[in-house]
């Protein structure tokens, strides 16, 4: 059965609307990716302590870096230095941290959960406890503040861990 001209026009308009929606989603995704990239770059500038420079000085410093970015040997050196520094900072941050579980006799009010989240804990709905990687003495202090208990999570030896699914 042949479709009428009005039906074909309506179908065409619907297709145009779907394409416009897809285009808007792609633009939005691109904008979000660009924003994330800019925030990461700004965070790195702040991390190096260069954010306090005068804007002209910072721009000049970045321009001088751009000149060196064409030299693959120099970029390799920068990559190695950045990787070593990130690894050293991660080791220092994680030193003395361990898996800890916090339990409380009653559900905590919202004003008590914010410090837990800030300390790196998350609530496990299934097991009804708070868990995170932190220093045990700090976790114990947080737990005692709210009449709770802290316990260490002992990792399984490598030989007892289940094999990863293929």
For residue range 22-68, list pLDDT tens digits in order: 999 999 999 999 999 999 999 999 999 998 999 999 999 999 999 88
Q: What are the tens digits of pLDDT across the range 68-103?
A: 899 999 999 999 999 999 999 888 877 888 999 999
pLDDT band for 166, please (50, 70, 90 cuts): very low
Structure tokens at 21: 């929606």
pLDDT at 164 > cutoff 80 = no
pTM of the model: 0.53
CA-atom Rg of the chain in angstroms: 27
- CB neighbourhood size of 18 (10 A): 10
pLDDT band at 162; cut points 50, 70, 90: low
Report the topology of domain 97-156.
Answer: Alpha-Beta Plaits (3.30.70)
Quickly count helices (H) and strands (E) in the chain.
5, 4
Confidence of residue 1 (pLDDT cuts 50, 70, 90): low
The domain locations on the chain are 5-52, 97-156
């Amino acid at each position: 059965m042949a479709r009428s001209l009005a039906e074909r026009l309506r179908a065409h308009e619907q297709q145009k609307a779907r394409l416009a929606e897809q285009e808007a989603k792609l633009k939005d995704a691109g904008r979000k990716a660009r924003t994330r990239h800019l925030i990461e770059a700004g965070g790195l500038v702040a991390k190096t302590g260069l954010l306090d420079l005068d804007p002209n000085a910072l721009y000049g410093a970045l321009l001088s870096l751009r000149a060196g970015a064409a030299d693959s040997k120099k970029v390799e050196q920068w990559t190695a230095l950045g990787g070593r520094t990130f690894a050293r900072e991660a080791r220092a941050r994680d030193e003395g941290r361990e898996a800890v579980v916090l339990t409380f006799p009653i559900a905590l009010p919202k004003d008590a959960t914010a410090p837990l989240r800030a300390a790196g804990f998350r609530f496990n709905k299934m097991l009804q406890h708070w868990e995170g990687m932190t220093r045990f003495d700090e976790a114990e202090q947080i737990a005692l503040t709210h009449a709770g208990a802290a316990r260490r999570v002992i990792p399984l030896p490598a030989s007892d861990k289940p094999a990863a699914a293929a």
